Amino acid sequence: MNLYYSPGACSLAPHIVMRGAGFPVELNRVDLKAKQFEGGDYKTVNGKGYVPALRLDDGSVLTEAPVVMQYLADQKPDSGLAPKAGSMERYRLQEWLNFITSELHKGMGNFFNPALTEDWRKAVTDRLSLRMDWLAKQLEGRNYLMGDKFTVGDGYLFVIL
């Protein structure tokens, strides 16, 4: 498998999962501004132009960190990186992954926008503060998002925070 990544990006989350689960992986560093990697035009790999992208051995490509991480967890179900597909616990993990994506990751991305104004910064900070307060309450008494076991959600949350 080939993982397309960029330093400082959310592609670190599937990289953590791959290394932790012992997947053999070839890393391909992407220049996100130029949309290039050592093999050429990155948009030929992922037309969206951002990371991560995971090229599977059959040549197909998966994108979006939560999808890539769930795919990886499903390849090694005994790893415990994700609950069994179709179980209520798996849906709880998907709730977490969606919360991290939509309420934290997307919000924090604003801080990297060169057009960010002070008013915009305050609005984003206020909104993220509400989300962080809620998150802190959910984590009270827990070691990990899903309780006492590390899952792909924890890797993703770590990277985003």
Mean pLDDT by 10 residues, the chain (161 residues): 96 96 96 95 97 97 97 95 96 98 94 94 97 97 94 97 94
Predicted pLDDT of residue 39: 84
CB atoms within 10 A of CB 110: 16
Give the separation between CA 55 and CA 161, rounded to whole angstroms: 26
Q: In what order do the strands lie in the sheet with 2-5?
A: 40-41, 36-37, 26-31, 2-5, 53-55, 61-63
Predicted pLDDT of residue 78: 93
Predicted pLDDT of residue 153: 97
Predicted pLDDT of residue 90: 97
Q: Report helix, strand or coil for 102.
A: helix
Whether the model pTM is above 0.85:
yes
